[in-house]
Structure 1
Amino acid sequence: MADAVDDDLYERATRLLEPGEIELAGCIVHTDLGGEEDLEMHELTVAANDVIAEHAGNGESYIYAGNDTDQFASNQFQGKTLADDEFVWECQQLLRSGTFDLVFYYEAGVDQPSLADDLRSLDHVDRVTTVP
């Protein structure tokens, strides 16, 4: 990675992907959105949901905010399938060095380069770093 902030974020994301119930992969979506651009960040998260769900091949999904449980932090979301409420992805929205980074985790097996290309095409995305 190019700088200490990215190195730290990449390492933290990698640790969160360590073996659990399912094998995970992930990506960091670096944006040009500042801390006051909450609406645009929400719109980007919705667009990323569509992209990740398409690549995961689990059908249509919705975004679960976890407002009804204390197991979620603020700015933490999940994509779940419409058909059966199954996990598609999880996201944390982090304000780093004045702009938002969105860290997504999803079940391994997704074509990472293709997913990253599609995420890069979304508005407000500076770059995408995949995490194995």
Structure 2
Amino acid sequence: MSETLDSDLYQRTKALLEPGEIELVGLIVHTDLTGQEDLEMHELTVDLNEIIAEHANKGETYIYAGNDDTNFSSNQFQGLTVDDEEFVWECQQLLREGTFDLVFYYEATADHEAIVEAVEELGPSVTPVP
């Protein structure tokens, strides 16, 4: 990926984390997955859900695709708690130069360093966004 595109994505991700109701941090997961690898993208999103939920201490979560919500776009997902549908994370899956980058953001109370380390152990390149 070119330096310019990576910098642009980083700046856009930082903008998503601007102060709001809750303090957020995030990460960009750079994959080699193409638009033809839907199953692999789904499996990676499930793995990342488990990592973030574990280090956010939110309990059991599920992935909400928002297919029934006009406020959601395609390739936008949320991790919500099973017990009370509390926000855990949100993700955008962005196709850039033929492969996907996944932009995740979640509450700053999560163990950000542990999440980044666990995602890196899966193999993809990760850019933390404080």
Task: State whether TM-score is above 0.5.
Answer: yes
Please give the alpha-carbon distance, in whole angstroms, between the structure 2 residues aligned to 1:98 and 1:23: 32
**Superposition pairs of residues 57-72 of structure 1, within 5 angstroms:** 57-72=57-72
- The whole-number CA distance in structure 2 between the counterparts of 1:22 and 1:126 is 28
Match of 2:119 in 1: 119
Question: Displacement, 1:34?
Answer: 1.4
Q: Distance in 2 between matches of 1:126 and 1:49?
A: 15
Match in the other structure for 1:30? 30
* Structure 1 consecutive aligned stretches of length 4 or more whose deviation exceeds 6 Å: none
Distance in 2, Cα, partners of 1:105 & 1:113: 13
For residues 10-48 of structure 1, give each alpha carbon's deviation from its aligned partner in whole angstroms, at most 9, with x where no partner exists: 000000100111110000011111121111001100110
Residue 86 of structure 1 aligns with which residue?
Answer: 86
Superimposed CA distance per residue, residues 33-71 of structure 1 (whole angstroms, 9 cap, x where no aligned partner):
112111100110011000000010000100001111100
- 1: CA distance between counterparts of 2:31 and 2:83? 31
Q: 1:131 is matched with which residue?
A: 129
Which letter maps to 1:48?
L
Could you tell me which residue of structure 2 aligns to residue 77 of structure 1? 77
Residues 65-102 of structure 1, C-alpha deviations (whole Å, 9 max, x = no match)? 11111000000000000011000000000011111110
TM-score between the two structures when normalised by the length of structure 1: 0.94
Identify unmatched segments of 5+ residues in structure 1: none
Q: CA RMSD in A?
A: 1.1
Partner amino acid, structure 1, of 2:126: V
Alignment length, in residue pairs? 129
Using the alignment, how far apart are the partners of 1:65 and 1:15 within structure 2? 22
TM-score by length of structure 2 reads: 0.95
- Deviation at residue 113 of structure 1 after TM alignment: 2.1
